[in-house]
Amino acid sequence: MRNPIQTGLLAFGMSGRIFHAPFIATHPGFQLRAVVERSRKQVADFYPDVISYDSVDELLADPELELVIINTPNNTHFQLACQALRAGKHVLIEKPVATTVAELDELVQLAQERNLHVLAYQNRRWDSDFQLVREVVESRQLGRITEVHFRFDRYKTALNAKVFKEDPATPGSGLSYDLGPHVLDQALSLFGRPERVHKTLSCNRPKSRVNDYFHFHLAYPGGLNVFVTGSLLTAAPVPAYVLHGTQGSFQKQRTDVQETQLDQGLLPTDAAYGLDSSEGELTVVAETGEKSVTTLAALRGNYPGLFEAVYQTLINDAPYPIRIEELRWQLEILAG
């Protein structure tokens, strides 16, 4: 059997501790070998055998490393991914993988020249609620789908303490590049590339200089309209997923529990991991016009599925489910 994929993290803050390290540490196909910690050295409190490097250069010089996870600020993804690819490492890049289509294309070309992989970390495809949405769509119980609303709402009036997120001069700043990639990826993975896009951005929080509201209208052939929205000023969120079709409707709140569980220290291998007790509401109209309403239980959250997909791509050359063309469509919308 092949030795585990030696993996490095470029940061061990919240994203490294919650969204990456637990999965690398518990998947038998990976080994968390090293992280970059420029100041606070805390990885040893969780993973005593992991190497803590002081800089990205030091980590990339480690000849044992095969995969590098780019979990740094949005505006650094492109440059650091290029650096890692030139060092001969595969890369798994947090959303957004880049800030422009040109950057993405350069990454792909660089990887192809070196026989390496550029993989996107779009974990929200494996949320419990979205997996249920996908199941409903694929079941065709709604008939021909005509109208879809995906939302990602929060209520945060205060400016982010991470200054780069609030600086309009920094590429990849603003809510559209923060939460937008999550819901855009969900929509594009289900419905493909739209014919037309209308984008609305606005800035509403006190003293904010970047967009804290986004709304993308994706128009598709055959009359399908998909609306993707995010806001930092939604005190009472409406259902995050609403779908209407010729034979019925479906709606559900955003309820995935994985981030909370991981933050509380629950491991992906725990029996309770990913279990979501929430339900969605499916309304189906019979040919007689009679309506029937059914509650559908949320599926189990499955972020381990993303890492299994990474493993299968790197080891068995299996197609990665988050396709490069989908990332290109996403950046066309975000940067357009």
Burial class (CB in 10 A: 0-12, 13-18, 19+), 239: middle
Give me the number of domains the chain comprises.
Answer: 2
What was the pLDDT predicted at 39? 84
| Cα 313 from Cα 309, distance rounded (Å) | 6
Is residue 53 domain-shared with residue 149, that is, in the same domain?
no
Same domain, 175 and 158: yes
Domain-ending residue, one of 77, 97, 121? 121
Parent domain of 167: 125-302
Residue 308 lies in a domain: no
Residue 155 placed within a domain = yes
* Alpha carbons 262 and 19: distance in angstroms, whole number: 8
pTM: 0.96
Instruction: Kindly give, in sequence order, each residue whose CB lies less than 8 Å from that of residue 1, ignoring residues fewer than 6 positions away.
Output: none
Do 137 and 181 belong to one domain?
yes
Same domain, 61 and 187: no
281 and 132 within one domain: yes
Query: Alpha-carbon Rg of the chain, whole angstroms?
Result: 20
Q: Residue 225: what pLDDT? A: 98
Query: Do 102 and 231 belong to one domain?
Result: no
Does 203 map to a domain?
A: yes
Please check whether residue 336 lies inside any domain of the structure: no
256 belongs to a structural domain: yes
- Asked if residue 155 and residue 10 are part of one domain, the reply reads no
Q: In a 3-state reduction of DSSP, which class is residue 112?
A: helix
Helix residue spans in the chain (DSSP H):
14-15, 21-26, 43-46, 56-60, 77-86, 101-113, 128-139, 175-178, 180-191, 258-263, 304-316, 324-335
How far apart (Å, rounded) are the C-alpha atoms in residues 8 and 21? 9
Q: CA 48, CA 187: separation in Å to the nearest integer?
A: 40
Single residue among 121, 137, 157 that ends a domain in this structure: 121
Same structural domain, 39 and 149: no
pLDDT of the chain, 336 residues: tens digit per residue: 689 999 999 999 999 999 999 999 999 999 999 999 998 899 999 999 999 999 999 999 999 999 999 999 999 999 999 999 999 999 999 999 999 999 999 999 999 999 999 999 999 999 999 999 999 999 999 999 999 999 999 999 999 998 889 999 999 999 999 999 999 999 999 999 999 999 999 999 999 999 999 999 999 999 999 999 999 999 999 999 999 999 999 999 999 999 999 999 999 999 999 999 999 999 999 989 999 999 999 999 999 999 999 999 999 999 999 999 999 999 999 998
CATH code, 274:
3.30.360.10
Show which of 61, 93, 121 is a domain's final residue.
Answer: 121
Q: Are residues 131 and 234 in the same domain?
A: yes
Res 1: pLDDT: 64
CATH at residue 43: 3.40.50.720
76 to 79, 99, 182, 196: CA distances (angstroms): 6, 9, 19, 30
Residues 149, 34 within the same domain: no
